[in-house]
């Protein structure tokens, strides 16, 4: 039952994310300078950005299907991550660092991302939060940490996020993880057992 609640919470969070994306695409302000991006060349990271993220999600789904007792806590934590990120997106809606890079023109990606949903980086924050969740399971901890680095590198080199979006994601993801442990304490106890 708790797994079903986690799935429902995740679906609801994706609706919240969808409407936050609509708002940010309508309300995006100006491009700003960035200490790190201004010194980095623009490299086409579309393959890693899109297919790396897709592979990451496929592996995560396979892990959760293999370890179903992880489902309630992980799904609820991801849903909380999406809701909190949606709130931050609405508060901080800068235009993307370079015009036209949003989503790399993949049809259908606008359902998940408007390209203006910058603060904070989900490509960095989500795998980092999952690394914290799976910290005591070495193989998964390292997989999620490597995914975190790959996500951060791809969005910075592709100029798809400002550096503040990437570096703040670590701190915010850490906070979300700790909030999830308190809010979903029964699910966390099952996960940690």
In a domain, 34, yes or no: no
What are the respective helix, strand and coil percentages of the chain, to the nearest 5?
Answer: 75, 0, 25
Which residues make Cβ contacts (< 8 Å) with residue 56, sequence separation at least 6?
A: 127, 147, 151
Residue 127: the pLDDT is: 98
Provide the greatest CA pair distance for the chain.
50
Given a cut of 70, whether residue 111 has pLDDT beyond it is no
Q: Is residue 41 part of a domain?
A: no
Q: pLDDT digit string (tens) for 138-151?
A: 999 999 999 999 99
Domain-located, residue 140: yes
% of residues, the chain, pLDDT over 90:
67
Domain that holds residue 153: 2-28+46-98+113-192
Rounded to 5 degrees, what are φ and ψ at 167? -70, -30
Residue 40 domain flag: no
The rounded distance, in Å, linking the Cα atoms of 20 and 17 is 5
What's the confidence (pLDDT) of residue 109?
A: 55
Domain membership of residue 167 (yes or no) is yes
Please name the residues in contact with 99: beta carbons below 8 A apart, sequence gap of 6 or more.
31
Confidence of residue 157 (pLDDT cuts 50, 70, 90): very high
Q: Total structural domains in the chain? A: 1
- The whole model's pTM is what? 0.92
In-domain check, residue 145: yes
* Nearest alpha-carbon partner for 179 in 91, 73, 88: 73
CB 24 within 8 A of CB 89: yes
- pLDDT for res 100: 42
| Residue 168 exposure: Cα atoms within 13 Å on the Cβ side | 13
136: in domain: yes
pLDDT mean across residues, the chain: 89
**Which residues does 30 contact at the CB level (< 8 Å), separation at least 6?**
94, 95
| Interatomic CA distance for residues 32 and 161, integer angstroms | 11
1 against 79, higher pLDDT: 79
Residue 104 inside a domain? The answer is no
pLDDT at 110 over 90: no
């Amino acid at each position: 039952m708790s797994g079903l609640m986690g799935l429902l919470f995740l679906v609801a969070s994706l609706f919240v994310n969808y409407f936050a994306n609509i708002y940010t695409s309508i309300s995006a302000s100006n491009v700003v300078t960035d200490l790190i991006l201004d010194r980095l060349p623009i490299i086409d990271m579309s393959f890693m950005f899109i297919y790396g993220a897709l592979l990451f999600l496929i592996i995560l789904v396979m892990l959760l299907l293999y370890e179903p007792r992880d489902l309630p806590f992980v799904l609820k934590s991801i849903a909380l991550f999406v809701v909190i990120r949606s709130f931050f997106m609405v508060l901080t809606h800068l235009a993307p660092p370079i015009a036209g890079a949003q989503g790399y023109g993949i049809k259908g990606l606008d359902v998940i991302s408007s390209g203006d949903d910058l603060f904070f980086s989900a490509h960095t924050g989500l795998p980092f939060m999952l690394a914290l969740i799976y910290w005591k399971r070495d193989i998964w901890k390292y997989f999620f940490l490597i995914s975190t680095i790959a996500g951060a590198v791809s969005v910075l080199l592709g100029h798809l996020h400002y550096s503040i979006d990437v570096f703040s994601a670590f701190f915010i993801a850490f906070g979300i993880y700790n909030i999830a442990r308190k809010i979903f304490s029964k699910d966390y106890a099952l996960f940690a057992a």
